[in-house]
């Protein structure tokens, strides 16, 4: 499965040939450098490691500096392995957004925005308990009962309760490519993708 590493730039909207306004996410997709080609004989599995986004040499440790020098490239911030890479590549190759085509479908993975500690209404979509009247005053956004009393006399694991929300890897599947701007390495996909502006994304065909 071919892919690229990208960075979320923001959102915009474009008009198609029929005059419909389409909301799009703008992604800086590549250029990515092939920093390692893993083989079954040497590594036990087949994969292609790509690197993206420049990094200061002083911020990189010596093992990683040697790793990048072997690929004849400068230090990079983000590395990711792609399995079943369909394109034939070798160490040091540069892969750009030209790998993708218009009107194709992509799966995009990113780290969702962290929301901090949230209650059950925001975190799990609970409706809240009871009515706003009849004497109650502080139970509107409460979770309600979380278990039985006499049996099993405990709360089951996995019970949906309040807690930290966000900050998880989320994959959006089947996002349509609306437009590709190769001279700027920009990719426009329909709809939204996980993460804040400037966060890294894994783009897979």
pLDDT band for position 1 (50/70/90)? low
Interatomic CA distance for residues 68 and 56, integer angstroms: 12
pLDDT at residue 133 greater than cutoff 80: no
b vs e for 160-184, b when ≥16 Cβ sit within 10 Å of the residue's Cβ?
eebeebeeeeeebeebebbbbeeee
3-state secondary structure of 69: helix
Interval 178-196 mean pLDDT: 92
Q: Residue 140's Cα: distance from chain center in Å?
A: 34
> What pLDDT, in 10s, does the model give residues 151-165?
889 999 999 999 999
Interval 137-144 mean pLDDT: 84
CB-based contacts of 97, cutoff 8 Å, min separation 6: 4, 29, 30, 180, 181, 182, 185, 186, 187
pLDDT at residue 166 greater than cutoff 70: yes
pLDDT at residue 196 greater than cutoff 90: yes
pLDDT above 90 covers a percentage of the chain that reads 66
Whether 186 and 29 have beta carbons less than 8 Å apart is answered as: yes
pTM, 2 dp:
0.85
- Could you tell me which CATH number the domain at 3-114+169-204 has? 2.40.30.10
Average pLDDT, the chain: 90
Interatomic CA distance for residues 192 and 175, integer angstroms: 9
pLDDT at residue 202 greater than cutoff 90: yes
Domain ranges, ordered by start, for the chain: 3-114+169-204, 115-165
pLDDT at residue 200 greater than cutoff 80: yes
């Amino acid at each position: 499965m071919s892919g690229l590493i990208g960075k979320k730039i923001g959102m915009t909207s474009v008009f198609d040939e029929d005059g419909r306004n389409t909301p799009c996410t703008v992604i800086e997709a590549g250029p990515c450098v092939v920093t390692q080609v893993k083989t079954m004989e040497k590594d036990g599995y087949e994969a292609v490691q790509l690197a993206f986004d420049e990094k200061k040499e002083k911020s990189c440790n010596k093992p990683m500096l040697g790793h990048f020098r072997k690929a004849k490239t400068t230090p990079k911030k983000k590395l990711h392995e792609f399995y079943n890479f369909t394109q034939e590549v070798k160490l040091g190759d540069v892969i750009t957004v030209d790998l993708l085509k218009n009107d194709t479908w992509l799966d995009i993975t990113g780290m969702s925005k962290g929301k901090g500690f949230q209650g059950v209404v925001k975190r799990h979509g609970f409706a809240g308990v009871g009515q706003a009247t009849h004497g109650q005053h502080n139970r509107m956004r409460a979770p309600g009962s979380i278990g039985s009393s006499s049996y099993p006399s405990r709360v089951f694991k996995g019970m949906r309760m309040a807690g930290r929300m966000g900050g998880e890897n989320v994959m959006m599947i089947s996002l349509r490519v609306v437009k590709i701007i190769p001279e700027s390495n920009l990719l426009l996909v329909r709809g939204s993708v996980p993460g804040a502006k400037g966060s890294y994304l894994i783009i897979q065909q």
